[in-house]
Amino acid sequence: MPVRSHGPFRPIRPTVSCALLALLLTLLVSPAPASAAGSGPNAWSVRPAGAATDGVRRGAFSLDATPGSKIKDAVLVSNLSKVPISFQVYGTDAYNTPRDGALAYREAGQAQQGIGRWVTLATNALVIPAGRSAEIPFTLTVPADATPGAHVGGIVALDNAVEQAGRDNGVDLGIQRAIAVRMQLTVAGPLTPGVTVRDVRLTHRPSGVPFRSGSATVRYTVVNTGNTVIQPTARPRATGLFGRTLKTFRTARLPVLLPGQSTVMTAAWDGAPPLDFVHASVRVSAQGVPEASAESGSVLLSWTTVAVLLALSALLALALSQVRRRRRARLEELP
């Protein structure tokens, strides 16, 4: 399949640099047309090719297909700098990072299971001169056994140039930069959105001062159990003994979660009581999805507070003992 050029460019064979102690791949999502990356002489953009519809260009690929079908489209890579840039271009799967749920893309050398395997580009390596663009056709082949619902990935344009960083700190770090334009494919079939929350945990950090409030953190995992893309909201809450409301956290709007993906969220709590039995609960909801909830119980314990209470109890017991002894002595003195 030919590559359509907006100006001359030169296909190359991709090379691998082995001289790096570390390689950092920064993937910048391209949600809008002409998103650019790089600094100084290197800046470029990646977006869907094709003329604008009603004056609006596509900012991402939004495709619908049936299992076993093929889709033909093209991606436009533009060199916005004043020097030629050597690119590696490839299809990739998207995923949510476990730590904060941010959308990320797999590197070229990682195993691709979805769109990263289904996309075949007309070329995977090229040099684009300064101020020029290259339109790269691709074919998306949907497997006959593809599951219904959303499949999310992207097409990445990786600058082959390696930037050196960290030398001032004695670390030899090589950085490569890339842009990914998002691709969301919906495979025909039943759509079953779903969400659940798991592993609710409360971590307590008591104050070192007796009877003073400490801090705590509610940690929980939200999982997209359906086959659609969702953006859930979570409402954590903490209650004490006898159902007393101790803390109502602000509603958290989570990142977009892909099917089968999960993210770990935390909610900070300043003013946690030094002593109590606390139930931490989390309710999660999303548009068109039944609400899910989970909870767990924890004992909040401040050892300095316990020590003071034990000391006070001992003093009180001693004082009561003295009172009883004196009362018995007075009774014995009576006729």
* pLDDT tens for each residue of the chain, 335 residues long: 555 545 555 544 443 333 332 333 444 444 433 355 554 556 899 999 987 777 788 899 999 999 999 999 999 999 999 999 999 999 999 999 877 888 999 998 899 999 999 999 999 999 999 999 999 999 999 999 999 999 999 999 999 988 777 666 666 677 888 999 999 999 999 999 999 999 999 998 887 667 677 889 999 999 999 999 999 999 999 999 888 999 999 999 999 999 999 999 999 999 888 888 999 999 999 988 989 999 998 877 665 655 555 666 776 776 777 777 777 777 777 76
* Burial grade of 145 (CB within 10 A; 0-12, 13-18, 19 or more): exposed
The DSSP code sequence of 160-205 is ---EEE-GGGT--EEEEEEEEEEEEEEESS-----EEEEEEEEEEE
The token pair that represents 270 in the structure block: 């300043």
* Burial grade of 218 (CB within 10 A; 0-12, 13-18, 19 or more): buried
**Which tens digits make up the pLDDT trace of 201-251?**
999 888 766 767 788 999 999 999 999 999 999 999 999 988 899 999 999
Other residues' Cβ atoms within 10 Å of the Cβ of residue 95 = 18
Report the C-alpha gap between 314 and 317 in whole angstroms.
5
Reported pTM: 0.77
Rounded to an integer, what is the distance from CA 218 to the centroid of its chain? Answer: 18
Q: 217 in the Ramachandran plot: left (φ > 0), alpha (ψ -120 to 50) or beta? A: beta
Angle made by CA atoms 146, 147, 153, in degrees to the nearest 5: 75
Most distant CA pair in the chain: distance in Å? 123
Q: Which among 306, 282, 311 has a CA at the least distance from the CA of 197?
A: 282
The token pair that represents 254 in the structure block: 């989570």
* Burial grade of 318 (CB within 10 A; 0-12, 13-18, 19 or more): exposed
The token pair that represents 186 in the structure block: 């919906």
Report the C-alpha gap between 317 and 306 in whole angstroms.
16
The DSSP code sequence of 255-300 is PPB-TT-EEEEEEEEEEE-SEEEEEEEEEEEETTEEEEEEEEEEEE
135 close to 171: Cβ distance less than 8 angstroms: no
